[in-house]
Structure 1
């Protein structure tokens, strides 16, 4: 997954429609079958085909890993998925192979990071504060804690913020990149899917195969943040200027 970046995070021209649209991840070029390696250590919270009608639609074969800081790292368009739901993986471990499944124009890897259900720039940069956010919550999401160094590190990146209790929606702050936003303490990985959820997912897949139901018609199980309580999290309206739409 160390190939050249062919499409970055942010606005671009949709390769299918030709219109301006927001791209929620980073695309890198590579060879068909090339190993896709996890950028972080964590727990696999989804491994399967991106179901239609969900925020994973269009990503084809996709693996999602949740790290100890609560960030969800998504790897899409895989030729094959090697990792399984509930599995603990290490940074650098192979979790799939590069392909062109789903809404794709050619072989590449789509890497995306979500925090609390919202996409963030995987390469680091800025984060736009949302209504209801607090400085401590943001620090916890990025560093795994708020009061054991997390807030101090976030404040160090944002010296212009004089009063952390007076931040407002729409304000832009500097954040670390997703690869280095690991906890400063040995915080455990946030709760993943239970054994019953994993069993239910496997049973659903088996039932689908027996009934010849396409996998993209199944709503996946597990606790992938991007799939939880879609209406509650307002995933399709997380930022006024660009709604969450699948662009690979």
Structure 2
């Protein structure tokens, strides 16, 4: 499955909860359209959306479940029962927050990855923000690593995605597939990420973020 992703485009098909696009049928249509146009995989949030996409798409599906908690900053598949739910819904790969922040439930990145491997038999994509988090995730057994959270944590909030510098560090220092995700806003940037050694790229807003794109165009029009 991981071989299928090599040097390919993965499209993140998500929408804000308040958006009319946040509908399983719409998300599944986005995903199917992306695969029909050559994307090698999709990244999908919530069991409901994963189940809907799985019915229409057979390409590799990276699943996650965003679960905000007022007491913790970690929200991407924070606990094992979230991982189990998205695996049951049809996710092929489980994406988790693998930053070094405190997690709900007392689980650690290492214990979570081990439990996903032993009980769900799924590879794990570790979403990280720094080189240190990536090294720790690799040591914990992550199967692939994404730059997803670069620019979105207290340690990196002063930085702007895409994290090409982080990408280069990860490619140079880790033997795992490294996915560049976050802030890729053009085909040229996607190519740049691949040229730097990214195993694959993940693009969301620039392709499926209709509301964000409309706001940007409206602002430019004055």
Q: Give TM class, smaller chain.
A: under 0.3
TM-score, length-scaled by structure 2: 0.28
TM-score, length-scaled by structure 1: 0.25
Which structure's CA Rg is the greater one? 1
Greater helix percent: which structure? 2
